[in-house]
Structure 1
């Protein structure tokens, strides 16, 4: 989804009443922090509420709306306009870090762009040049600085959703213009961030559901540099029904199967309503899918048109979400 929408999502706030295994140079093994889940079947529930400090402030109110369900996944994004912001300049990171440190079972989930001017409409030819530069190490220092910032804030175990939706058409950090360079660049970023003393980051590979611009398996950089297989999935084509969203090539079932084959947990960093408006059947099906497949965490995108709490346009879906998570906050129904 467009990052501009995330930065302008405050317009909806007034409505609130309160596969391929790719090998490369050997790095340290990928990490799987089972303790972060609290227990074997528990899912960290979260929501994207605002990129900055207001997002932290709204977590408690959303939890109360859900009947006291604990929100254990705090989710935000670094802006991709400048390298300074990708390095972690926003002051709001301090607020998110305080939230994370308050409870040991919380997850801090941070989407990190791989290139500046990430929504600048950069043409494919230039994207390919930038990816080749990244693969040669031209931008390593920016990611070391980000890692140092996160470790310094006391969140060395941040879940890094790096280069999200890389299989799409829009972001400058997209994969299609140069897949081999993209994979090598991911590996360089992970190596740079893991070189910082004290880090325990987990790296989440999170494509769009479906084939989009390129099969997301063609962008997979290797098991040693990926810890989680995520997927961003909204109620929109491809997939006219939820069943088709599950069974389509590179859809929800493919994600689960791929993760199992590679020994990785799954996640849903972004999901929600979209093209079909207020759709309680979709909401019920997606929540059921999440409960049955037990991702490490799930985070609904909670602003219009995707959300159910900060957006009043989806009242029927909101009731499903509220009732389901009030009754089954972070557990499988089995």
Structure 2
């Protein structure tokens, strides 16, 4: 793929205070763009100066939510080189999301080339302080200039990047989670396994209610029986119950997280089995009651590992592991972030150097 590059004639000053980076507030000088239509297919790949988009008021994405996205990071190693963590998994998940939303598929090798060349151009934006990274947001949207409801005939794919600060400015402290028994995130047969904006918009109401009661996020139950644990906030979730590592199985309503997959593969490499199975809220409540719930944590790109110190279910509050991060949670965090920042040997072939 021949990517045309147009350099920004007015590059911005790069931030020097990484403590003020936050998340997704500052953007780099360029973005990658790729256009698709049903006649020509994918064409005109280009890296251009970062700028606002101009779209038709009848654009499909504005009316029918034909949009998908991904989130991954580039990390600066101690030797100054920049690397990405398992980008092929994001590429494949994005194509799965595209299939579900009736958006066009992208050739894996071309998308990998786009990511590598874009990050290579913007690599100076990758901060070097511990816990910081360059967050990459690929996204695609339908762009038909018509109000008809149908599979899209025109689409746009874009990658933008943002230097982000450490998720844990004050240490890896456990969070408080409320088990949600009113709203649901997704149902089987829907878009739960796809990474699309509508899933996140629909989750905000429950999240707001939880925050008003002093909780960081909600723990979702399945949308059919309101019985089985699914995700925590915008992350996958894992538990250690009486020595067994349990994570909800992928039933079609749960996002197949890349950090989730990495945790499972890493644990298995150390001889620790992980049960991917249905886990009822009643079983979890019993484990919380009798003290056999030893650890609980969320896992996702932003936090990597987010230990859970308190769960609330039907007004009953349960403290997990004395509201401290567990030994296994800490081990997973140290090991996976160590690979991401090049501090631990990558025995899995997960790293792509830029």
Q: TM-score, normalised by structure 1?
A: 0.28
State TM-score, norm by structure 2.
Answer: 0.27
Larger-gyration structure (1/2): 2
Higher relative contact order (CA 8 A, sep 6+): 1
Instruction: Give the structure with the higher percent strand.
Output: 2
